[in-house]
Amino acid sequence: MGIEQQWNNAANVLVALVTTYGLRIIGAVIILCAGWMTSRLLYTAVVRLCQKSPRIDRTVALFIGNAVRYTVLVFTFVAVLTTFGIATTSFVAVLGALGIAIGLALQGTLSNLAAGIMLVVFRPFHIGDRVETGGVTGVAREINLFFTEIDGDDNTRIIIPNGKLWGEILKVPTRNDTARLEFRVPRPANEDIDTSISRLRGTIERDARVLKVSAIGIDTLESDKYTLAAQVWTQRESAVQLKYDLNRGIKQEFDREPAAVERQTG
C-alpha cells in the first residue's frame, strides 16, 4: 500500500503540473508564433507603406520596419512571461538594475545602434549608392539597426557594423554624376615633350565620352624617361569602360612611330 500510495501521489502531482503548466506552455508557444508572424507581417506592411511615398527614402523605410518588428518581439516576450505568472513590473525593475551592466557589456552593440540611427537621420548615403570604407567597396543594399549589408564588387554580401560606417571616413562615389580619371604615360627622355603631349591630348579628346581634360603635362622626371599625366572628366556610368578604352588607345598611339604620325598629320 505504501508504494501504491506513492505512485498515486506522483501521478496526482504530474497531472497537476500538466494541467497547470501544460496549458501555459501551449499558450506561450501560440503567443510566440503569433508574435513572430505579426512582427514579420508588420515589417512588410510598414516597408511597403513607406515605399509608396516618394518622400520617404528606402533607407528610412527599412529602419522603421526593423524598429516595428523588434518592438513587437519585445512585447511578445513580455506576454510570454506574463503567461507563466511572472510579474512584468518586477521584470522591468530587474532590467533597470541590470541596465548599467548590460550597457557596459554591450558598448559596441549599443554604439552600432546609435550609429544606425544617425545613418538614417542624416543619410550620408542611400540604398543603391556605392560606398568605400575601411578597405571595403560595394553597393549598399540594406541598413539595419546594428549593421549594414553591402554587395562587394565580386557580388559577395559584406556585413559592416554601423559604427564603422559612421565613425570612419566614408567615400560615396555615386553621389556625384561625374568622375575624374587619371592617366600616366612613361616616355623616353629623348622624345620631344610637346609632340608627346599633343599626341596624348589628341587621343583623349577624340573620345566623345570625355567631357574635358582638366590638366595635362609632365608628372615626373628621371634621367632616362619622363612621365606624362592627364586628368580627364567623364560621366560616372561610363568611367570604367572609358578608362579601359583610353588605356588601349594611348598604348596604340605611342606604339606608332613618330615619323608615321608626322606623315599622317602632314
For the chain, which residues make up each domain, given as ranges? Answer: 2-105, 125-174, 176-265
Write down the mean pLDDT value for the chain: 82
What's the mean pLDDT in 122-143?
88
Per CATH, which fold does 2-105 belong to?
Answer: Helix Hairpins (1.10.287)
Q: Kindly tell me the sign of the dihedral angle through the C-alpha atoms of 82, 85, 89, 92.
A: negative
Residue whose C-alpha cell reads 516618394 in the numeric block: 54
Q: What angle do CA 255, 230, 221 make, to 5 degrees?
A: 75
> E-assigned strands of the chain?
130-133, 136-143, 147-152, 157-161, 178-188, 210-221, 225-235
pLDDT of 181 higher than 70: yes
pLDDT of 107 higher than 70: no
Fold: same for 125-174 and 176-265: no
Sheet holding 136-143, edge to edge: 130-133, 136-143, 147-152, 157-161
- Beta-bridge mates of residue 131: 138
Could you tell me which CATH number the domain at 125-174 has? 2.30.30.60
For 221, the 3-state DSSP assignment is: strand
Question: Which residue did the predictor score with more confidence, 218 or 51?
Answer: 218
The region of weakest confidence among 36-45, 196-205, 252-261 is 252-261
Over the stretch 30-76, which tens digit does the pLDDT of each residue have? Answer: 888 888 899 889 888 888 888 787 767 677 777 788 888 888 888 88
Euclidean distance between the first and the last CA atom of the chain, given in angstroms as a whole number: 125
Full-model pTM: 0.56
Could you tell me which CATH number the domain at 176-265 has? 3.30.70.100
What's the mean pLDDT in 151-174?
89
Question: Which residue did the predictor score with more confidence, 215 or 13?
Answer: 215
